[in-house]
Amino acid sequence: MKGVHLVRHPILGQHVAELRSKKTESRDFRWHLKEAARILLLEALAGAPVKSAFVETPLAKTKGLTLAMPVVLVAILRAGLGMVDGMAELLPDAILGHIGLFRDERTLKPVHYYSKIPNIAPGAWTFLVDPMLATGGSAVYAVDLLRKHGAKTVKMISLIASQAGVDILRKAHPNVDLYVAAVDKVLNDNGYIVPGLGDCGDRLFSTL
C-alpha cells in the first residue's frame, strides 16, 4: 500500500518475536522495544535530505554528511516513551514532544489529557511515535494536533498496526507515511490488535 512501509529486517523480526511473546518480562520488553524503535527510525530516515560538512580527522580535512533538516520526535503517552528513548540516543539533537491520549474503553475514541509540543519549523521532519496503531483514532487526532503546531512533514512510526488502523490513518492523512514492523489483520471488539502483543504500556511499565 502506498505510504505504508513494512520494514523487513531479520534483527527487527527477532525483536518483534520477543515483544509478542507473553514470556518476555518487562525488563527485556523495554530493551527489545527500544532496539526495534532504533531500526524503524533508521529506515524512516533513509531518504532524508543531507548536506555536506567538513570535518577534521587526526590526519586531514575531509567531507562528511549531516542531516539537512531538524527532527522532531513526538511520543504518544505513555507507551511511546519506550520507543522515543532509543530514537533520541540516535539523534541527540532531536526536539522532543509529548501527546497524552488514552482510549475510552466504551467508545474506543481517544481522550486528550496532555500535550507539550514545540513550535515546529516548516522544514522539520516530525515523527509521531506509538508502538501500537490499533483503531487509528489516536493517530489521526495526534496528526491533527501536530498540523496545528506547524508540522508540514509528518511520518508515523509504530511497531505493530492493525489493518483497520492503517486504513483509517491513510484515509484521514494520506500524506503521512507509516513505518511499521508488522500489520496484523484482526482488531477485536475491545480495540486490541490480534495477535498483537497485548497492552504495550502495561508490559513496558510492569503495570499488568
Domains of the chain: 4-46+70-205 (3.40.50.2020)
Interacting residues of 141 by C-beta distance below 8 A, sequence separation 6+: 101, 110, 112
Instruction: Give the span between the Cα atoms of 189 and 15, in whole angstroms.
Output: 27
pLDDT (0 to 100) of residue 208: 74
* 199 is a catalytic site residue: yes
The catalytically annotated residue of 20, 78, 167, 199 is 199
Rg of the chain on CA atoms, in Å: 17
Torsion angles phi and psi, residue 129, rounded to 5: -120, 120
Alpha carbon distance 138, 132 (integer Å) = 10
Candidates 104, 107, 144, 207; catalytic one? 107
Model confidence over 169-189: pLDDT tens digits?
999 999 999 999 999 999 998
Which of 28, 144, 202, 207 is an active site residue? 202
Dihedral Cα 194, 200, 206, 208, nearest 10 deg: -40
pLDDT at 150: 94
Model pTM score: 0.93
Please indicate whether residue 24 is annotated as part of the active site: no
Q: Is 202 marked active-site?
A: yes
Q: What is the pLDDT of residue 106?
A: 83
Which residue type is seen at 30?
R
- Catalytic residue of the set 103, 147, 153, 167: 103
pLDDT tens digits in sequence order for the chain, 208 residues long? 789 999 999 999 999 999 999 999 999 999 999 999 999 999 999 999 999 989 999 999 999 999 999 999 999 999 999 999 999 999 999 999 999 998 888 888 889 999 999 989 989 999 999 999 999 999 999 999 999 999 999 999 999 999 999 999 999 999 999 999 999 999 998 889 999 998 999 999 988 7
- CA angle centred on 39, ends 34 and 41, rounded to 5°: 90
